[in-house]
Amino acid sequence: MQDDIRGEILKGLKRVVIKIGSSIITQFEKGQAGSENGLNANNVRRLAETIRRIIDRDCEVVLVSSGAIMAGRERLGLHRANLSIPEKQACAAIGQSYLMHTYEKKFEKQGLRVAQILLGHDDLENRKRFLNAKHTMEALLEHKVIPIINENDSVTIDEIKIGDNDTLAATVACLVNAQLLIILSDVDGLFSSDPSIKRKKGESPPEIIEHVDGITEEIEKLAGRSNSTITVGGMYTKVLAAKRTMSFGIPTLVVNGLDNSVPDKIFSGKSVGTLFWAGREKIANRKHWIAHTLKPSGKITVDSGASKAIVDRGKSLLPAGVIKVEGEFEFGNAVHILSEDGTEIARGLVNYNLRDLNQIKGMKTSAVRKIFGENFYEEVVHRDDLVVL
Ligand code: GLU
């Protein structure tokens, strides 16, 4: 049963977000060589090989990578526990460039190109910036470049931070409509009980829960129970990340990224780590959010050709199909999409504000390009941001 669910997820896998924990990037096993600027270059090389294989399966990859602060600490020799905020920010600044340098080098060997995107809390809260980030990532993926995302730690203070890259990765997975989020950590998954207690008693470690189909209070407690740094300590934010992706219809898989056999197991559908997934019926949840949670702030009336393209063929709405624009909306707001007789046929997130859309309504793409230059959105509402009612 478990393998069936995983097989099903793999079948539809066209885009995956992989979160790489600091431990994967900076931890060394005893006697392991390969340190470059405090980073575990061997692990980055192995990661590059894995990602090459995933891309060869015709699946796009977006990375969310931690490790900047740890790498910077190493570089500056700042090993004490309590660093001031400017010190941490300095570590992030210096570490981030070493991080990217290492990714560049190792990924290039696999014929992979990478690009850095640093996001802050504001970028995720503000829908306009959120969509802008999305469009940048789409453009990178279209050009076969792997976006590597981290929090913009060098300019954000703790109070206004996203804070952890599990949350960031979950948000990114929703942002790019991935079909799977894989979190590579240094634990095997979610334990069925606190391993530190078992260890103290000299008992063998508890089992890994293979499948979590809903984030209950009990699961949250299990994830947050231990204070130990080596057991389930870091699992709480992973469970919250899984909660977030699941409500958008995206499964999350938490696995041990230090175990070299894990990638093959994942991609052959074998049971490894903990899969957080409620089942296929949840897939439409993001669309549910667009259709039911957001308050539309304007109306766009479309001609019968556009109406058919949207309803019957699941197409995006282009400027050429727009005949009337009403209300007050900005880029990124939700809008009603109406057919000529005034019936609401769809809702979606709009790529233009009212003024600009009024200017380009009814126009062909080439005419729109003349007005806005190359820097414009072909779609008024992209089909990924559109839900037919
Ligand atoms: N953004 C931090 C860094 O790159 C890591 C945060 C986290 O691991 O959750 O160092």
CB of 284 within 8 A of CB of 214?
Answer: no
- 148 CA distance to ligand 1 middle (Å): 13
Q: Return the ligand 1 atom nearest residue 72 CA.
A: 10
pLDDT band at 39 (very low <50, low <70, confident <90, very high): confident
Compute the distance between CA of residue 91 and CA of residue 264 in angstroms, rounded to an integer.
34
- 281 CA distance to ligand 1 middle (Å): 33
Look at residue 126 and tell me whether its pLDDT is greater than 80.
no
What pLDDT was estimated at residue 281? 47
Q: Return the ligand 1 atom nearest residue 21 CA.
A: 8
pTM of the model: 0.74
Compute the distance between CA of residue 157 and CA of residue 152 in angstroms, rounded to an integer.
10
Instruction: Write the pLDDT tens digit of every residue in 46-71.
Output: 999 999 999 999 999 999 999 998 88
Q: Which residue type does 234 have? A: G
* Residue 221, φ and ψ in degrees, nearest 5: -65, -45
pLDDT band at 334 (very low <50, low <70, confident <90, very high): confident
Q: Return the ligand 1 atom nearest residue 167 CA.
A: 9
Q: Where are the domains of the chain?
A: 2-287, 296-388
Q: Which of 18, 22, 26, 94 to mutate to test the pocket of ligand 1 (most atoms within 8 A of CB)?
A: 22
CATH of the domain spanning 2-287: 3.40.1160.10
Instruction: Write the pLDDT tens digit of every residue in 219-238.
Output: 888 887 444 333 333 788 99
Bridge partners, 18 (sequence order): 63, 182
Tell me the CATH class for 296-388: mainly beta
Q: Is the CB of 154 under 6 A from ligand 1?
A: no
Q: Which of 20, 151, 229, 240 to mutate to test the pocket of ligand 1 (most atoms within 8 A of CB)?
A: 151
CA-nearest of 253, 48, 251, 63 to 141 is 63
Domains 2-287 and 296-388 belong to one CATH topology: no
Q: Which residue has the higher pLDDT, 103 or 215?
A: 103
Q: Which of 18, 20, 63, 66 to mutate to test the pocket of ligand 1 (most atoms within 8 A of CB)?
A: 66
Q: What is the mean pLDDT of the chain?
A: 87
